[in-house]
Amino acid sequence: MTDSNSKLAERLALVRPLFAADVALAGADPLDAPPAPFAAEAAGLSPNAVAKRRNEFAAGRKAVRQAMQQLGVPTEPVPVGSDRAPVWPAGLTGSITHTKSCAMAVLTRVGAVQALGLDVEEDTPLKDELLPAICSEREQAWLKRQDNPGHMAKVIFSAKEAAYKCQYSLSRAFYGFGGMELEFDLDTGAYQAFFTADQPPFRRRESVGGRFVAGAGLIITTAEIRERR
């Protein structure tokens, strides 16, 4: 196993316990010259996209294809919609994420699971000047009580990204980082992202749940919506 494959396997092993067995998980390394995406997928890239962006996009779609194979469903394109979100094949839902060093995708059949979210970030502290834009006053007060506030601020950023992706497939609602406020259970590595305003079909103070983990140079957050009552 090459060093690149070993690092990817380590990272996937961190994420796998965060999802149930009915969710497929796969990954790819953008630095390993991933195969070209389907033409329908590549059409969503800007003609001016730089090589880094193209490699990350291709790695994400490679991970999607691997996840489809795990589920035993036909390998189909996942194009980019007019809202820039992935357009999943009928009956499937998932999430794609990438950094300069890692791309991952999760995928499942719509049923018990209604929506998924996944975000990976390089494990570096969030810059202090970004705090007011990312974190509410309550979240900033919580960060001041943590031993590693810069790291946990990056976790907040990532968790809001994952929760946003997850809810978006149901609400199609755009909002900023203030649209959710987080509460963490650091003992279990879980969080709840509470809506700060109504985003139909979600109501204010309804939440999206997820988990987080850090390791192998990454911060990884997940979100999941199971059948809603």
Domains of the chain, CATH where assigned: 3-110 (3.90.470), 119-226 (3.90.470.20)
Q: Which 3 state secondary structure label does DSSP give 39?
A: helix
All residues at 6 or more sequence positions from 84 whose CB lies less than 8 Å from its CB, including other chains: 44
- One DSSP character per residue, 183-223 reads EEETTTTEEEEEESS-BTTB-TT-EEEEEEEEETTEEEEEE
Provide CB contacts within 8 A for 136, sequence distance 6+.
178, 181, 196
List the chain pLDDT tens, one digit each, 229 residues: 567 789 999 999 999 999 999 999 999 999 998 999 999 999 999 888 899 999 999 999 999 999 999 999 999 999 999 999 999 999 999 999 999 999 999 999 999 999 999 999 999 999 999 999 999 999 999 999 999 999 999 999 999 999 999 999 999 999 999 999 999 999 999 999 999 999 999 999 999 999 999 999 999 999 999 976 5
